[in-house]
Amino acid sequence: MGREKVITTVPAEEVQKQDAALRPKLLKEVIGQRKVGERLEVAVAGCKKLKEPLGHILFDGPPGLGKTTFATVLPNELGTSIQMTSGPALSKPADMLPFLTNLEEGSILFIDEIHRMPRIVEEFIYPAMEDFRIDIVLGDGMSARTISMALKRFTLIGATTRSGMLSSPMRDRFKIHEHLEFYSVEELARIVTINAAKLSTPMTPGAALELAQRSRGTPRVANSRLYWARSYAAARHDGSINEAVARAALDMAEVDRDGLDRNDRKYLETLIDLYGGGPTGVEALAATMNLAADTLSDEIEPYLLREQYISRDRRGRVAMPKGFAILGKTAPKPKPEEKPQPGLFE
């Protein structure tokens, strides 16, 4: 009898605990995004000397690049507290009241996926961001009255993968706007090495480099690769991770040397085999793959675009020669442009 393939899942709460355990505590411990870190260090030092709250901050960029990490590091730098929520959890203004009224002087309110916050909630917090107050309407109709409630001075930090979906008035209220970029292989190798030490897992430099090369320029992905390699090393070897163990673990997880996983290859196969390489819309691709369009545009496409496996324009998604090559296919030659027919008066 063949060995059955067993798939195990880790609860979301456990994944969050693992991520939190590996996150740096101070700005100087953050690897990568150095220019962003330096600007935040200046902003923190300035607000301390001026005895003012840190200006509101908006972090944007693809998932897993450190937006939440920066948000959780800043309270440690400022010696203050943080409250955390997300845009989808705030369906009405009343949902914001517990967070705003419990704020301490100089504390931080972090809203993840802030672009998914309803417009009515967004407009409710405008005065909170500008004047540190909120307006509460009591009653209905002719008997309605508005009460203005003062708040402690605080810092709002928003994180988004789609800053373009934020309204212009909302974006303008953030005094600091930072875009996070993908990480280099060397930076990811350093992150993996440090986190392996935190997990008491022996790892060779070659193994760290192997994991980094297959992590799509993203620390969150690198940490996931590390946890998988750690489990694989414990189950199949002596618990330490060398280059051969790392390679075998990732091969078993169907992550290739270019960092592409099953969904990436399925995306390219769908685009090339079913749609002839495009152009085609993301909605059509998502329906064919049975995935949400947001998953494709937020999680799969950024890396494929960055590495030039695909391109994107107003007509849709188009497979590039590199996308054909990774699947062992030959890109079709571009069709020659048709010359216009001579006009009547030419």
Q: Which residues are catalytic?
A: 67-68, 112, 161, 220
Judge whether 230 and 216 are in contact, CB under 8 Å: no
Hey, how many other C-beta atoms are within 10 angstroms of the C-beta on 269?
Answer: 15
In the chain the beta strands, taken as DSSP E runs, fall at 57-60, 82-86, 108-112, 133-138, 145-150, 155-160, 176-179, 310-313, 316-319
Cα–Cα distance between 211 and 185 in angstroms, integer?
9
How far the first Cα of the chain sits from its last, in Å, is 78
Type of residue numbered 90:
L
Cα–Cα distance between 203 and 240 in angstroms, integer?
6
Cα–Cα distance between 61 and 133 in angstroms, integer?
30
Q: Provide φ and ψ at 227, rounded to 5°.
A: -60, -40
Under 8 Å CB-to-CB from 333, ≥6 apart: which residues? none
Q: Does a cis peptide bond (omega within 30 degrees of 0) precede residue 279?
A: yes
Which among 280, 265, 274, 282 has a CA at the least distance from the CA of 325?
A: 265
**DSSP state, residue 43:** H
Taking 3-state DSSP, the helix, strand and coil percentages for the chain, each rounded to the nearest 5, stand at 50, 15, 35
Structure tokens at 63: 């998932």
Judge whether 211 and 246 are in contact, CB under 8 Å: yes
**From edge to edge, which strands make up the β-sheet containing 108-112?**
82-86, 108-112, 155-160, 57-60, 176-179
